[in-house]
Amino acid sequence: MRRNGSMAILGRLIRAKFRSISNCFHQTKNLIFRMHWAAKRFLKLKQRSRRGWQRRLQMANIGFIGLGNMGGPMAANLVKAGHAVKVFDLSADAVAKAIEAGAGKAATIAEAASGVDFVVTVLPAGKHVLSVYEGADGVIANAKPGTVLIDSSTIEVDAARKASELARAAGLGAVDAPISGGTAGAAAGTLTFMVGGSDADFASAKPILEGMGSNIIHAGDSGAGQAVKICNNMVLGVSMIAVSEAFMLAKRLGLDAQKLFDISSKASGQCWSLTSYCPVPGPVPTSPANRDYQPGFAVDMMLKDLKLAQQAAASSGATTPMGALAESLYALYSNSGNGGMDFSAIVKMLDGEK
């Protein structure tokens, strides 16, 4: 009996100990679970905080000068990206539109350049860029040290290099960053920027350019962005004329335009002027040919770039006979009163229309 009693007591002690160990195990398991949950929560909050800090770090104060067909939507996209943008333009309507998009107003060029991290310019020609940069009331005299100047105008290579030299001499950064993509790309924020400048200035400017474009390419030192732009647009101007001639030849030969497109777009004649910007109505629904050649990219803008290419060819000793012929054809079409038409409307002149 004593032995049985002792065994019963021992059994109760073992069961009690087991329950104690089991309770301790469950408590430990719950504690580990809570610690794991708390750690995950902490990391998530830390990541959110880091992302918020990075976003704040990337936000910049920007002066924007030049609110034309390209500059206006570009400035609006910088505002959408969260940057503080103050704008200057000679057009009160353009400034009012930018203010509606969330930008602030600068009364002068000097005010636009003062107290900002970046100054973006989108202007018609090199003489305008240099006039805005120079002088007591200009960008360079009023920008704080370390400000990076981003010129997205399409200008002469020599003018771009001079602008960069002036900026660097004053302790400022500078890149030439001409654009491709037209007004649609400017509005959508999908522009391509071809950038010339030092590695350091390119790295500084890139986050700003990413607020306006989807392809940001470093082409080389100062002036390289402009060099790439005029070479590219010479290819574009020549290829548009070639594609237009092919469609007009096909028309005279009784060939359906859609058939030519279907075959050439998959053959060796394939190019951007054909597949993305077809100069005849029908094959590419989004091309200006389907909206009576309203620009996109105007004849006079193409003519400007072809002239820049010929100036560069002359100064560098390059031989560009096709580029020269394209310039003369676009000049002829522009002088007939068609400078405001989309450049693909050159097909109409080749078809015998004035």
CA distance 11 to 13: 5
Buried b (16+ CB within 10 A) or exposed e, 121-147: bbbeebebbbebbeeeebbbebbeeeb
Cα 119 to the chain's mean position, in Å? 15
Element (H, E) at 235: helix 224-252
CA distance 15 to 315: 99
Cα 184 to the chain's mean position, in Å? 11
Closest C-alpha among 229, 119, 123 to residue 178:
229
Give the list of residues 6+ apart from residue 89 with CB closer than 8 angstroms, or none: 65, 66, 67, 68, 71, 95, 98
Specify whether 229 is catalytic. yes
Residue of 86, 97, 229, 304 marked active site: 229
- What number of residues does the chain have? 354
CA distance 305 to 327: 9
Give the list of residues 6+ apart from residue 144 with CB closer than 8 angstroms, or none: 114, 115, 116
How many CB atoms sit inside 10 A of residue 262's CB? Answer: 12
Q: Which residues are catalytic?
A: 229
